[in-house]
Amino acid sequence: MSLANGWWYGLALDLLPKATFMIDQPRFELFAFWRTSATFRVRVALNLKGLTAHEHFVNVDAGEQRDPAFLKINPLGGVPALVLPGHPPLTQSIAIREYFEEIAPTPPLLPGDPLGRARVRSIAAMLATDTHPLVTPRVKRYLTGAGFDDAAWRAWQIHWFSTGLQAVELRLATEADTGAFCHGDAITLADICLVSITAMLKVFKITVAGIPVIDGIVSRCEREPAFAKADPFKQVGAPQT
């Protein structure tokens, strides 16, 4: 459902703190857009953990994330945002996924040892905090205002997607802890972040060459139902093909 009618403002700030729910998990209200990498990460984590959320469509292309009322949910004007009964909204996909890990520890998305957890978080950060932020709509809006045309923006996307993924490829190809997935043979937060980036390559029809280890890991992830269900093109608001 779109934000256009503004009903969600009362939902998030008035109704939820008073609500009670007869279910094991809190009632999650997820403000999302069909194609964002960050929302993809949250959807996959929800699916892997067996959690559910009621999604509200925020039309990023129409600028709904900059609506003054939505800024009361996320002052940065970004999605996803997760609203829980009686609590301030949670923003930032990494923080939301770490929260899911705390409340639903099975299956674990972090290794059991400190170094392993640090490695997974490091790879995840290379993708979610070093690569993704450079290709977001607000960066495009700024660069377009500074004179970028469509060709310059596409060149920018290709450069930063390639830079990030090729750096991750080097680590995955040379570090002994890489297995069927980014860390060993179980899916972790790093794999979620990795596929969140390659999913955007498909959306924008961009190819990054020379990343065979990544290609293999992504192929294995995409065969998992939790990833397939989160496919951007299967979400509300996605273009009909």
At 105-124, the pLDDT tens digits run: 999 999 999 999 999 999 99
pLDDT band per the 50, 70, 90 thresholds, residue 26: confident
Whether residue 230 contacts residue 40, with contact meaning beta carbons closer than 8 Å, is answered with yes
DSSP string, 66-121: G-TTGGGT-TT--S-EEE-TTSPPEESHHHHHHHHHHH--SS-SS-SSHHHHHHHH
Whether 1 is in a domain gets the answer no
Separation between Cα atoms, residue 182 and residue 199, nearest integer Å: 16
Number of domains in the chain: 2
Three-state DSSP class for residue 212: helix
Where helices occur in 113-237 by DSSP H, the ranges are 114-128, 137-145, 150-174, 189-204, 212-222, 225-229
**Token couple for 35:** 């194609």
Residues 77 and 135 in one domain: no
Domain end position, chosen among 103, 127, 155: 103
Q: What is the mean pLDDT of the chain?
A: 91
Residues 123 and 207 in one domain: yes
Whether residue 17 is predicted with pLDDT greater than 50 in this model: the reply is no
Nearest to 45 by CA among 9, 98, 97: 97
Looking at residues 35-51, what average pLDDT do you find? 97
Separation between Cα atoms, residue 63 and residue 220, nearest integer Å: 35
240 conformational bin, left if phi > 0, alpha if psi -120 to 50, beta if neither:
beta
pLDDT at 241: 66
CATH for 83: 3.40.30.10
Residues 99 and 121 in one domain: no
CATH for 150: 1.20.1050.10
Whether residue 198 is predicted with pLDDT greater than 60 in this model: the reply is yes
CB count in 10 Å sphere of residue 222: 13
Residues 64 and 161 in one domain: no
Whether residue 120 contacts residue 110, with contact meaning beta carbons closer than 8 Å, is answered with yes
Separation between Cα atoms, residue 36 and residue 46, nearest integer Å: 16
Residues 230 and 118 in one domain: yes
Whether 50 is in a domain gets the answer yes
Domain end position, chosen among 46, 75, 103: 103
Q: Which domain holds residue 196?
A: 114-234
Whether residue 104 contacts residue 50, with contact meaning beta carbons closer than 8 Å, is answered with yes
DSSP 8-state class, residue 12: I
Domain end position, chosen among 80, 103, 126: 103
Residues 164 and 57 in one domain: no
**Token couple for 12:** 């998030």
Residues 141 and 91 in one domain: no
pLDDT at 6: 52
Whether 92 is in a domain gets the answer yes
Whether 131 is in a domain gets the answer yes
Q: Residue 55, exposed/middle/buried by CB under 10 A (0-12, 13-18, 19+)?
A: buried
Whether 109 is in a domain gets the answer no
> What global pTM score does this model have?
0.89
